[in-house]
């Protein structure tokens, strides 16, 4: 059975790019456009092996999503990879509770590969 990854980003292009890469690596992928939608999805899906989330999203951002995930014992240990814009790096805005941070504007697929290796998530083929 494939491990599932939940991708949360309001950018359709980023969601598509990340989801396609993960599917090529053998993961089952679900996606949401904001943190509120992601939390709603988590109620009815098998717990994901990894959550990849943007920080800046309308309605319910990545920081709020991480707050909600860490507050629940059932989701507190799910590894989290943050997708951040370059200005986040310049401003020093990072999410300390994330297991890995990817910057969207530079070689996203290479960074994603390294993130998967770093959080030791492997697809089961």
Domains of the chain, each with CATH number or no CATH: 4-108 (3.40.50.2300)
Would the pTM count as exceeding 0.85? yes
Check residue 117 and give its pLDDT. 86
Q: What is the mean pLDDT of the chain?
A: 86
H or E stretch at 48: none
CB atoms within 10 A of CB 56: 16
For residue range 51-80, list pLDDT tens digits in order. Answer: 999 999 988 999 999 999 999 999 999 999
pLDDT at 15: 95
């Amino acid at each position: 059975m494939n491990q599932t990854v939940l991708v949360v980003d309001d950018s359709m292009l980023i969601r598509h790019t990340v989801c396609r890469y993960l599917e090529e690596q053998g993961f089952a992928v679900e996606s949401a456009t904001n943190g509120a939608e992601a939390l709603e999805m988590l109620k009815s899906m098998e717990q994901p092996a990894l959550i990849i989330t943007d920080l800046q999203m309308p309605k319910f951002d990545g920081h709020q999503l991480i707050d909600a995930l860490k507050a629940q014992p059932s989701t507190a240990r799910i590894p989290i990879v943050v997708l951040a814009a370059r200005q986040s790096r310049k401003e020093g805005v990072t999410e300390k509770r994330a297991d890995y941070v990817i910057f969207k504007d530079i070689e996203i697929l290479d960074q994603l590969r390294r993130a998967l290796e770093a959080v030791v998530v492997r697809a089961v083929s």
